[in-house]
């Protein structure tokens, strides 16, 4: 019972001497773990040979879909495994929507613990699925239960960080959400090493890897969740005074209830802004490696040959170069989350998204000519900028929501908005993959099969730009009255918590600088190692 009491929101209210810079590493500890969702493709090839080990054990040609799913006697196709990637982001968005309101009332600590149980428990169930060779257990474990953990873990720090950093909302959320983009840089190399360590003549080492990673992630996520603190009502950073009169009409000092946002036009405009920005970026991110290989082919090796004219050894060489390209994009995806979100504190969120769409439109429209002209450096540079804006869009949108709808329920509103990510996670890959396949099926050379795709994506950005331009301040009728706000604060335990003894218990006295340094080192060292590995792989692109 004492443990459950410790998780209550009243017990997380910080004392007067708490250092707010301890909250971002707590958020990063969770985001770096759940960010492994981006790197799950490292398991696909080994799992496609889980029974055959060296070569896939094919299923009978006449086997039905349900029989294939339930079969434990033949290997899974990569297309079957890839459904987990879609499930991750569908259930992330759905759980963030469904449980966002609960999170605001329960607090980030309890939500973080539940996220750890779901994400790590999902890995354990997936390990059982691999051991029993039942793919439905993997879909249930990591796809559904793990996806719910993703949603809760992703939004758990948003509201808290915005309240701790009212002076730098964009930077604060950018720091945390940067971790989600960086999780795969740490997790994928770790998974690769663990699979090699556990691999035997009878096992590809995946189920053992799942169990070890579940244990490691649970420790980090639990430490992050238990380190969360929320500021007492009315808290402000020392030396910071909010402007007496808000000169920016796009930033409100009032609050909208999360249950009302479905009927507010600005919510749907921002929903489309995020969905269109992510659709364009996620489609390219998923096809980055084949895109570079098929467009430039032998030019990557300094030989004038198209992709289909290369031999097996040459294709292996350019595959390694393309892996470096994918790693480079990951770096810009991560860096963009922090840099663009921080810039939005000075430029404004609407202006920042305007830059994303205008600059992105020009870059997407120019890529076909860069490709046909053989300008590899410009081609790579353009995609790096595009992916920085893809990541920046994720990190900037929580502050955009706080500006428009207030901070009281921004976590719950952000959860509802993440359904746009779920939609984009389906639309983006389908758009890029099917347009490419249609082009190739109609005789278009692979090097030119992406031209139409780039123009279509540029068209999506035009629509996104229009939606962003239409965003206006929220009408007065949508904001909570003083009585409604007081009732919501009571549900969120703010009034009682600020005056309770539990607040003093949660954080009494000045936070030790050693603790702050330890928190940042705990997340900074793994992130630095992941970045170093990625830079090393990306260097192949420029040799």
332 alpha-carbon distance from chain centroid: 14
Asked if residue 394 is part of any domain, the answer here is yes
Structure-token pair, residue 151: 């949603």
Asked if residue 486 is part of any domain, the answer here is no
Integer angstrom CA distances of residue 416 from 94, 491, 505: 8, 19, 33
Chosen domain end from 432, 457, 480: 480
Is 228 in the same domain as 265? no
Q: Could you give the CA distance from residue 88 to residue 91 in angstroms, rounded to a whole number?
A: 6
Q: Is 521 helix (H, G, I), strand (E, B) or coil?
A: helix
> Contact, 42 vs 183, CB < 8 A?
no
Asked if residue 3 is part of any domain, the answer here is no
Is 302 in the same domain as 202? no
Asked if residue 67 is part of any domain, the answer here is no
Q: Could you give the CA distance from residue 380 to residue 392 in angstroms, rounded to a whole number?
A: 18
> Contact, 422 vs 92, CB < 8 A?
yes
- Residue 529: CATH number of its domain: 1.20.1250.20
Stretch 442-458: mean pLDDT, rounded?
81
pLDDT band of 495, cuts 50, 70, 90? very low
Is 30 in the same domain as 176? yes
Q: Does the pLDDT of residue 1 top 80, yes or no?
A: no
Asked if residue 62 is part of any domain, the answer here is no
Domain containing residue 230: 13-55+74-235+513-542
Is 430 in the same domain as 354? yes
Chosen domain end from 435, 461, 480: 480
Is 79 in the same domain as 117? yes
> Contact, 420 vs 272, CB < 8 A?
yes
> Contact, 462 vs 361, CB < 8 A?
yes
Asked if residue 421 is part of any domain, the answer here is yes
Is 150 in the same domain as 26? yes
Stretch 17-28: mean pLDDT, rounded?
93
Q: Does the pLDDT of residue 386 top 60, yes or no?
A: yes
Is 270 in the same domain as 308? yes
Asked if residue 502 is part of any domain, the answer here is no
Q: Does the pLDDT of residue 15 top 80, yes or no?
A: yes
Phi, psi of 230, deg, nearest 5: -110, 145
Stretch 120-130: mean pLDDT, rounded?
96
Integer angstrom CA distances of residue 265 from 43, 194, 262, 348: 42, 49, 8, 20
pTM for the predicted model, two decimal places: 0.87
Q: Does the pLDDT of residue 397 top 90, yes or no?
A: yes
Is 409 in the same domain as 520? no
Where helices occur in 14-77 by DSSP H, the ranges are 23-34, 44-47, 65-70
CA–CA–CA angle 15, 17, 19 (5° rounding): 100
Asked if residue 6 is part of any domain, the answer here is no
Q: Does the pLDDT of residue 400 top 60, yes or no?
A: yes
Is 517 in the same domain as 429? no
- Domains: count for the chain: 2
Chosen domain end from 436, 465, 480: 480
Is 362 in the same domain as 444? yes
> For the segment 239-265, what is each residue's pLDDT rounded down to a tens digit?
887 765 556 778 898 999 999 999 999
Is 225 in the same domain as 263? no
The number of beta carbons lying within 10 Å of the beta carbon of residue 70 is 11
> For the segment 148-187, what is each residue's pLDDT rounded down to a tens digit?
999 999 999 988 999 999 989 999 889 888 888 888 889 9
Is 227 in the same domain as 279? no
Q: Could you give the CA distance from residue 411 to residue 423 in angstroms, rounded to a whole number?
A: 19
């Amino acid at each position: 019972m004492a443990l459950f009491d410790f998780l209550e929101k009243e017990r997380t209210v910080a004392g007067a001497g708490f250092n707010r810079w301890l909250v971002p590493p707590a958020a990063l500890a969770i985001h770096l773990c759940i960010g492994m969702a981006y790197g799950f493709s490292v398991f696909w090839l080994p799992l496609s040979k889980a029974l055959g080990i060296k070569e896939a054990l094919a299923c009978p040609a006449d086997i039905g879909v349900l029989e294939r799913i339930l079969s434990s006697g033949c290997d899974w196709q990569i297309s079957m495994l890839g459904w987990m990637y879609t499930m991750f982001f569908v259930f992330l968005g759905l759980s963030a929507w469904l449980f966002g309101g609960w999170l605001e009332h329960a607090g980030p600590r309890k939500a973080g613990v539940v996220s750890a149980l779901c994400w790590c428990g999902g890995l354990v169930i997936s390990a059982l699925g691999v051991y029993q060779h039942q793919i439905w257990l993997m879909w249930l474990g990591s796809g559904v239960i793990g996806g719910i953990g993703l949603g809760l873990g992703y939004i758990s720090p948003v509201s808290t960080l915005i309240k701790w950093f009212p002076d730098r909302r964009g930077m604060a959320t950018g720091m945390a959400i940067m971790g989600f983009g960086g999780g795969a840089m740490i997790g994928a190399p770790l998974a690769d090493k663990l699979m090699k360590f556990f691999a035997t003549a009878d096992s590809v080492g995946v189920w053992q890897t799942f169990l070890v990673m579940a244990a490691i992630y649970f420790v980090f996520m639990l430490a992050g969740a238990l380190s969360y603190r929320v500021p007492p009502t009315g808290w402000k950073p020392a030396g910071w005074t909010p402007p007496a009169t808000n000169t920016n009409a796009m930033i409100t000092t009032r609050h909208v209830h999360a249950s009302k946002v479905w009927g507010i036009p600005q919510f749907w405009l921002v929903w489309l802004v995020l969905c269109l920005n992510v659709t364009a970026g996620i489609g390219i991110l998923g096809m980055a490696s084949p895109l570079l290989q098929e467009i430039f082919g032998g030019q990557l090796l300094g030989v004038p040959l198209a992709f289909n004219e290369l031999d097996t050894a040459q294709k292996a060489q350019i595959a390694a170069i393309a892996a470096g390209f994918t790693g480079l994009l990951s770096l810009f995806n991560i860096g963009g989350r922090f840099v663009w979100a921080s810039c939005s504190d000075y430029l404004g969120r609407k202006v920042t998204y305007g830059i994303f769409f205008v600059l992105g439109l020009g870059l997407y429209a120019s890529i076909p000519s860069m490709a046909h002209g053989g300008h590899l450096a410009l081609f790579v540079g353009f995609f790096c900028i595009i992916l920085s804006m893809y990541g920046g869009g994720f990190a900037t949108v929580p502050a955009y929501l706080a500006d428009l709808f207030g901070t009281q329920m921004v976590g719950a509103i952000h959860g509802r908005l993440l359904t746009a990510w779920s939609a984009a996670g389906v639309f983006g890959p389908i758009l890029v993959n099917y347009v490419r396949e249609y082009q190739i099926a109609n005789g278009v050379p692979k090097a030119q099969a992406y031209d139409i795709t780039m123009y279509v994506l540029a068209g999506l950005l035009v629509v996104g730009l229009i939606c962003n331009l239409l965003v206006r301040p929220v009408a007065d009728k949508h904001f909570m009255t003083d009585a409604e706000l007081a009732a919501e604060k009571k549900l969120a335990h703010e009034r009682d918590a600020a005056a309770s003894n539990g607040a003093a218990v949660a954080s009494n006295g000045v936070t030790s600088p050693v603790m702050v340094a330890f928190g940042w080192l705990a997340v900074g060292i793994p992130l630095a190692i992941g970045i170093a590995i990625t830079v090393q792989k990306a260097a192949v692109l420029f040799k």
